[in-house]
Amino acid sequence: MTQTGTPPRTASIGRRRMIQGVASTIALIGLPSGVWGKQGWSNDPFSMGVASGAPTPDGVVLWTRLDPVVVEAAGLITQSIPVTWQVADDAQFLRIVAQGVIQAVPALAHSVHAEVSGLSSDHHYFYRFLAGSASSTTGRTRTFPALEATPNSLRLAYASCQQWGNGYYSAYRHMLDENLDMVMFLGDYMYEYPSSRPKDIRPTTGGWANTIESYRQRYALHKSDLDLQAMHAAAPWLITWDDHEVQNDYAGILHGDSGRPVEDFMARRRAAYQAFYEHMPVRRADFEALISTHNNNAKVFGSHQYGKLATLYLLDTRQFRDPQACNPNNKIGASQLDPSTCAIWNDPQRTLLGTQQESWLKREFEVSTSQWNVIGQQTLLGQRNFDTKGGVRFSNNGWDGYPRARQRLIEAMIQTKLRNPVVIGGDVHENWVGHILSDYNVPTSTKIGVEFCGTSITSLAHTSQEKANQMLRVNPHFIFANTEYRGYGVAEFTPSGMRTTLRAVEDATNPRSAIHTLAEFVVESDKPNIKIVE
């Protein structure tokens, strides 16, 4: 079903197919009359692939976007185009269980979001899209178990940070073999930069992304990667964003520090948020106000229940945060500093999630009856002191820069007696594994949960391994750190415990890179203590 040995390539549009669907000559059983039109195409209009996401016990969101070059060649760039979607029990689409027609409109870049409901719970399905004489590749997705079900396991991969020019997405080629129920993507799906540092391994086209059209082009570039397409087509994704989907280190309504500032940052942010919607398998309701009324905000935080075994929470630590505190010389973006030099560091009003999201999350904790509570968010939760010579120096860009907000999150876990909290993060381009403490200022305080912060798909690490080893000694709540490798993590949850495997590609600059297991960890249910598997 997948061409796992094919390296990513961005050449002719008509060759960007990685999961071969049923040929367009197969009879389209049960299609409404007139839907299967006569429109021909010069190349494959589904060259960006297909994806599914936001699964529920009875439904899922199916996504594709028609290639703008192919649409323009057909003379349809300003027109709405009917696209048929189909869901079937079999890859040959002989047992179609749901189908419909959606108008792919120019205002949303001819993207398609089919929000399918009425499906059976805990069930795998095949899906595809049809437009004129073309059919998309075939995707495979699944619904979540019923709310009262007691599944034996949940196996997910977590990933983040895939700067195009830093390397190839060979990690996804190996992720295909992991037998996953889903993928949790934790931000920086694309980067707004015109090129990579120190150099592009593969060219980043289009200059700075800062307008709706340039964000669309950048997403299209990323989605041309065949390994990424294949992983999207293999399993449903839950997706949140971080800063690079808009601008490096932006904070709420304050612009970030990359590129020349635009005159109207909120207009840029709205454009970026809309482009995110246009390219992700997410629900329209969460972006409706942004799309329809040009409201400034969209909603990517939410919870997803996997039977009684687990609740998955996705957070948004960018859209509603206060600006980073005490940057020297009024610098924009992130800095490292000694908190004792910053008067507002411990201001209880400062927030990373925003008051609405904080309140929502605590209410979710209060009603959770799940055995595992898995919080997917953008960055490192645990306190991380960069000063290894007896001083204190924290980054002001993550949870360390919002210590009272972090403590409120921890206290919400404690007060609600949240069972088996597991925090999964990204952003730092390094693997960090540790315990969540009831009070990070007291190293001997109670362990209340565990944390797995993942490395990047391609983006470069910020810290040397030697420095990370030194930092482990002054941050003893972390038990493992690795900055050398790119890759992803796999977390498997069962009624008795969880096992996390860190998978590392040998060389992200090699499209055919091999992969190895960097480390494995186990956590017993109701015992927040991580053990390294020897």
What is the spatial distance between Cα 41 and Cα 130, in angstroms, rounded to a whole number? Answer: 12
- Residue 196 has a pLDDT of 86
- Residue 86 has a pLDDT of 98
Residue 227 carries which DSSP code? H
Confidence of residue 36 (pLDDT cuts 50, 70, 90): very low
- Residue 367 has a pLDDT of 98
CA distances from 367 to 56, 273, 413, 414 (A): 18, 30, 12, 14
For the residues 439-462, what does the mean pLDDT come to? 97
Q: Does position 38 have pLDDT exceeding 80, yes or no?
A: no
What is the spatial distance between Cα 171 and Cα 169, in angstroms, rounded to a whole number? Answer: 5
Q: Does position 411 have pLDDT exceeding 70, yes or no?
A: yes
Confidence of residue 83 (pLDDT cuts 50, 70, 90): very high
- Residue 28 has a pLDDT of 34
CATH architecture of 13-142: Sandwich (2.60)
CA distances from 75 to 39, 68, 104, 216, 491 (A): 11, 10, 14, 19, 47
Peptide bond into 55 cis (omega under 30): no
- Residue 326 has a pLDDT of 97
Per-residue tokens: 17: 């197919």
Range scoring the smallest mean pLDDT among 202-206, 274-278, 328-332, 365-369: 328-332
- What is the per-residue pLDDT across 202-228, written as a single tens digit (0 to 9) for each? 999 999 999 999 999 999 999 999 999
For the residues 375-400, what does the mean pLDDT come to? 98
- What is the per-residue pLDDT across 339-363, written as a single tens digit (0 to 9) for each? 999 999 999 999 999 999 999 999 9
Q: Which value, in Å, is the radius of gyration of the alpha carbons in the chain?
A: 23
Residue 473 carries which DSSP code? H
Confidence of residue 260 (pLDDT cuts 50, 70, 90): confident
Residue identified by tokens 């053990």 is 531
Residue identified by tokens 């207009």 is 267
- Residue 261 has a pLDDT of 84
CATH architecture of 155-532: 4-Layer Sandwich (3.60)
Q: Does position 117 have pLDDT exceeding 90, yes or no?
A: yes
- What is the per-residue pLDDT across 242-255, written as a single tens digit (0 to 9) for each? 999 999 999 999 99
% of the chain with per-residue pLDDT over 90? 90
What is the spatial distance between Cα 433 and Cα 521, in angstroms, rounded to a whole number? Answer: 9
For the residues 494-521, what does the mean pLDDT come to? 98
pTM (predicted TM-score): 0.93
Residues 6+ apart with CB under 8 A from 496: 524, 525
Confidence of residue 3 (pLDDT cuts 50, 70, 90): very low
- Residue 37 has a pLDDT of 55
- Residue 197 has a pLDDT of 82
Domains 13-142 and 155-532 share a fold: no
Confidence of residue 27 (pLDDT cuts 50, 70, 90): very low
Contact 455, 480 (CB under 8 A): no
What is the spatial distance between Cα 150 and Cα 441, in angstroms, rounded to a whole number? Answer: 38
What is the spatial distance between Cα 149 and Cα 290, in angstroms, rounded to a whole number? Answer: 36
Helix intervals (H) in 5-45: none
Mean pLDDT, all residues of the chain: 93
Task: Count the Cβ atoms, other than its own, within 10 Å of residue 492.
Answer: 18
Q: Does position 426 have pLDDT exceeding 70, yes or no?
A: yes
Three-state SS annotation for 255-320: CCCCCCCCCCHHHHHHHHHHHHHHHCCCCHHHCHHHHHHCCCCCCCCEEEEECCCEEEEECCCCCC
Contact 485, 505 (CB under 8 A): yes
Confidence of residue 166 (pLDDT cuts 50, 70, 90): very high
Residue identified by tokens 């454009």 is 271
What is the spatial distance between Cα 103 and Cα 79, in angstroms, rounded to a whole number? Answer: 10
Per-residue tokens: 200: 């592009």
* Sequence spans of domains, the chain: 13-142, 155-532
Confidence of residue 39 (pLDDT cuts 50, 70, 90): confident
Q: With CA atoms as reference, report the closest residue to 228 among 532, 525, 520, 511.
A: 511
What is the torsion angle, in degrees rounded to the nearest 10, for the CA atoms of residue 245, residue 247, residue 251 and residue 253? -90
